[in-house]
Amino acid sequence: MEFCTRISNQLMLKEIEKHNDRNIVSSPLSINLVLNMVVAGSKGCSLQYMLDFLGSKNIDEINFRSSEMMAVAAGGGSPNNAENGLTVVMVNGVWVDKCILLRPSYEEFIRGIHKCEVKTVDILNKVRQVENEVNSWANVASRGLIKEILRPVSLSRDTSIILANGLHFSYKFDASHTYKMDFHLSNDRTVLVPFMTSQNRYYFGSFLGFKVLSIPCHSQKLNMYFFLPNEKYGLKNLVEVFNTNPRFLEQNLNLSKVKLDQFWIPKFKFSYDFDVSRKICGYRYRF
């Protein structure tokens, strides 16, 4: 997961440096699942290189980690959580050009671990039609929550296989405790957005340059963590901390359960997509 976290951090840093007012969301989990699909289809020296690259001992460990991640997403999307305002949906898909023949063992892995079927398509002659098919699948598989996986003209006639992951997360705000306030953007502008407050006790910690808040999402497996820089425009410096030490988010933060004097969480609805292969190529690693 360390490499996938580093990719996500680099992605956010590049967007922050553009000084635009876009919201950014990235998922190391999604990147990791897609790379695990790649590992499962590798063998020989390529397989060993990928295992070393991702910090795994063998393919069984890769399979175990993939199963764990799928289980967490499935648990977050259970009907009981949905009733409490939490919705988590993750979908995986694989499309392969009809000129490519995959090993049966690979298809079995995709079906058993990632809960999806490998679909054979004619990318060479019907590339735009395949794009529409992928997006239609995402919309149906996510129950309308993920409208699009591929942007127009995302594929080329040279594409032979598509590995896709879509992740949707939403948590319902309590309208009776929501008020509109100014939110400060990184480009020195402010926008008026809904903020939710609460009088409950939550796990909180203060560190050098930033604060951390943990909120349970009506689940034994899911918690939402908020990282807030002390400086009004300190987001870039905060992401630099994660980029310098990708394992920082995996360590025990030793938070204490307290009642906060000021507790305001902004409400946003946004989506973001990116091509993992381009980000990986930017690191100049061989595959």
Sketch the domain layout of the chain as residue ranges: 1-171+269-282, 175-266
* CATH topology match: 1-171+269-282 vs 175-266: no
d(CA 273, CA 276): 9
Indicate the angle between helix axes 2-17 and 28-40, nearest 10 degrees.
130
The 10s digit of each residue's pLDDT in 200-236 is: 898 999 988 899 999 887 655 678 889 999 988 888 8
What is the third-level CATH fold of 1-171+269-282?
Antithrombin; Chain I, domain 2 (3.30.497)
Q: Which one is the CATH code of 175-266: 2.30.39.10, 3.40.190.10, 2.40.50.100, 2.70.98.10?
A: 2.30.39.10
Enter the pTM of the model. 0.78
Q: What is the DSSP string of 145-194?
A: S---SS-TT---TT--EEEEEEEEEEE---GGGEEEEEEE-TTS-EEEEE
pLDDT digits (tens, 9 = 90+) for 90-127: 899 999 999 998 888 889 888 888 888 899 999 999 99
